[in-house]
A = this chain, B = another copy of it.
Amino acid sequence: MSKDKLQIIPIGGLGEFGMNCMAIRWDEDIFVIDAGLMFPESDLLGVDIVVPDITYLIENRSRIRGIVLTHGHEDHIGGLPWLLRELNVPVYATEFTLAYVEGKLEEHKLLDDAELIEIEPKSKFQLGPFTIEPLRVTHSLVDCVALAIETPVGIIIHTGDFKVDLSPPDDHAFDLASFAEYGKRGVLALLQDSTNVDRAGYTPSEWAVRPRLDEVFSRTQRRLFFSCFSSSIYRLRIALELAQKHGRKVAIVGRSMLESSEIAQDLGYLSIPGDLLVHPGQIKDYAPDEVCVLISGTQGEPMSALSRAAVDNHKHAKIERGDTVVLSSRVIPGNEKSIYRVIDHLCRREAHVIFDDGQSGLIHVSGHGSQEELRLMINLVRPKFFVPVHGDFRHLQKHARLAMDIGISENAYLLEDGDVLELDQTTATKNGKVAAGRVLLDSGASGNVVEDMIIRDRRHLSEDGLVIAIITINKLTGRVEGMPEFVTRGFVAGDLELGEQAKAIVGKTLEESNAEERADQVLIKEKIRVDLKRYIQKQTASRPFIMPIILEI
């Protein structure tokens, strides 16, 4: 590496959406911005999450001064347990982000050993040669920051995820003034979120969904089920406020929704009147027009509360004819089939389903800035160099062009994971590449059940092995025909031990599922996978990939 050069090294998130992670290096000091995960493409069976390959960070273990998190979304913090297990370095984040991090580290039994340091907007802190000032930005989540980093060669600004919400529901305003001030002082490089570079104009405020949701609440005659991303604290706030306004008690169903609302309440981002909340078990005690259920599972996740309620298999959340279900979120590309599957189940129950189909009015807004906000930031910060971050290659490329068209910056650099950009006070040059890539992890059941996270790099597949369970179901009767069969490979316990007991496990899973669940292949495969996995791990302490295949006759 060159001496007296600042290095910007994306480890993840440049060339894909998700698993955001970036190293900033000066000589013998490195700090890391974010440690995110990505959800896998559906053809990676047996894999729950994807995180960046951190070989470079591990090789430079002794140089790493800390990890600074911009906000608490999974694509920015979800890889933290995996990273901290390899590199136990201090973690810097705002109060709300730390609350999410604590929960996550506790699940992975890493909390006791972790050094978590709370940061605040406008309070500078030092990491080696870097002076870092967090700057308040707005996003779909609360307590988010950008980072202004003073380095020996100049100031670098990393936006994190942001939109310019001029009326955020929590009155924590976007700190336009500080960005402008840095712009006046002179900024060497701006690293900016590319997510919505395809969208013209401005992204609406988080408040913008309230009128349409108010209308939905006022029109709904029977039960109202409201689903959104569980981290959408602003959205939960609006739903709670509307429930109170329209005389409905609120039950919160689904672990992630419950945890998220508790954290938000503790930290003052949600203030819920004492008598508004009821226990899910009480839903049945209220008239249908007196209750609103906040429920997780807006992306059709097979094990989520909403997915289960949609096939009439949730203890407390019963969805009946004439009930209304609002999915206040977007349909994330790749999730269409799961989401529409759930919607079809809901329609069969004759529920009214309101989702983001382009016809339902504004029931969701993006958390990422559109083109005008990207231009606004560049106009405020006036960077000498521009580096687009967070996106597929085409987004980064489009964003670089958008930036250069403004005519403020001298040059834009298209980096992908592993690329090294070297800067001094006057120049920036791409110089070489470090190890980078994707690592697949098996985090236990997807959905809400979280077990220990197992590091499941693909290279370990042949060590822990592969179990394929072949189940034959009669499509007409929904019954299992014959016994399940198992194909194993490199699996220590061998075929023999996966005999009668494992068959019985699969049989039990099928028995305990209703006909609708059995007919829903994605759902039933996930249930079988989770149950078999738990059994195999208990019996053999081995963690093979498990791949159920359903044959319908």
Contacts and interface: CB of A to CB of B under 8 A. Distances in A.
A336 B333 contact: yes
Contacts of A487: 466, 487, 489
A551 B392 contact: no
A493 interface: no
A340 interface: yes
A50 B550 CA distance: 15
A485 B462 contact: yes
A361 interface: no
Given A334-B336, A435-B476, A394 B462 contact: no
Contacts of A393: 344, 347-348
A198 B344 contact: no
Interface of A is mostly: mixed
Contacts of A200: 359
Interface string A401-435: 00000000000000000000000000000000001
A300 to B, nearest CB: 13
A462 to B, nearest CB: 7
A527 to B, nearest CB: 15
A348 B358 CA distance: 32
A19 to B, nearest CB: 14
A61 interface: no
Interface in A289-336: 333-334, 336
A551 B461 contact: yes
Given A359-B200, A487-B487, A522-B43, A392 B344 contact: yes
A549 interface: yes
A41 interface: yes
Given A200-B359, A487-B487, A458 B551 contact: yes
A552 interface: yes
Contact of A357 (B41, B198, B397): B198
A79 to B, nearest CB: 17
A117 interface: no
A470 B476 contact: no
Contacts of A88: none
**A: contact size bracket:** 35 or more
A551 B468 contact: no
A208 interface: no
A553 interface: yes
A123 interface: no
A210 interface: no
Contacts of A357: 198
A83 to B, nearest CB: 19
A255 to B, nearest CB: 25
Contacts of A336: 333-334
A198 B343 CA distance: 14
A185 interface: no
A298 B200 CA distance: 25
A476 B53 CA distance: 11
A190 to B, nearest CB: 21
A552 B344 contact: no
A458 B550 CA distance: 8
A461 B471 CA distance: 11
A315 to B, nearest CB: 25
A353 B393 CA distance: 12
A472 interface: yes
A145 B239 CA distance: 49
A393 B522 CA distance: 18
Contacts of A485: 462
Given A43-B45, A359-B200, A552 B437 contact: yes
Contact of A458 (B333, B458, B466, B553): B553
A525 B397 CA distance: 28
A328 B177 CA distance: 44
A459 B551 contact: yes
A470 B462 CA distance: 9
A109 interface: no
A534 to B, nearest CB: 22
Nearest to A333: B336
A305 B252 CA distance: 51
B344 A475 contact: no
A461 B466 contact: no
Interface in A85-142: none
Contacts of A2: none
Given A43-B42, A43-B45, A489 B468 contact: yes
Interface of A: 15, 41-43, 45, 53, 198-200, 333-334, 336-337, 340, 343-344, 347-348, 353, 357-359, 392-394, 397, 435, 437-438, 458-459, 461-462, 466, 468, 470, 472, 475-476, 485, 487, 489, 521-522, 525, 549-553
Interchain residue pairs A-B with the least CB separation, the first 4: A458-B551, A333-B336, A487-B489, A347-B394
